[in-house]
Amino acid sequence: MERSNIEIEKDHEGYVIFRTTCECGVENHSIKVIVDEEMGIPIATLFFECGWRDEWKAKWWKILWRRLKCACFLLFKGHLYLDEDFIFRSGEHLEDFLHALEQASEQVRKGWERKQKKDEKTA
C-alpha cells in the first residue's frame, strides 16, 4: 500500500531510506529511517534533520545575543546541541511513519536472516 506521507529512496548499494517531512514547512526539516549495513551487521538508523532559526517576533538585540551566545559556545566548548519539534500533520501521517518503522524493522530482520545463512555457509 502506498503511503503518501513517506518518500522511499533506494540507493545503488541496496540501502533503503524512508523520509517524511515536518508540517512546519521548513524544507529540510525531516526524519529519515535508514536501513543499512554497518560492517556486515544490518541496522536501522533514525536521522533527524533540524536547523537553526531565529526566534519569530523576537527583538533584534535578543536575536543577536542568542546568535553570539551559541557561536561562542561552539567556538570555546566545541559542541552545540540543538533540538526542534517535529510536527506530524495528521493521524495518517503518524500511521504512515509507524508503517515505515515496521518496514524498516522487517528489512533489518531479513538482513539478519541473510547474515546468519551466510555465516552458516562459511562456518
- Binding residues vs Zn ion (CB under 5 A): 22, 24, 29
Identify which of residues 3 and 29 has a Cβ nearer to Zn ion in the complex. Answer: 29
Identify which of residues 21 and 103 has a Cβ nearer to Zn ion in the complex. Answer: 21
Smallest separation (angstroms) from Zn ion to the CB of 87 = 6
**46 with 36: CB under 8 angstroms?**
no
Identify which of residues 37 and 49 has a Cβ nearer to Zn ion in the complex. Answer: 49
Smallest separation (angstroms) from Zn ion to the CB of 42 = 30
**106 with 35: CB under 8 angstroms?**
no
- All cell numbers assigned to 85: 519539534
**67 with 59: CB under 8 angstroms?**
no
Smallest separation (angstroms) from Zn ion to the CB of 74 = 22
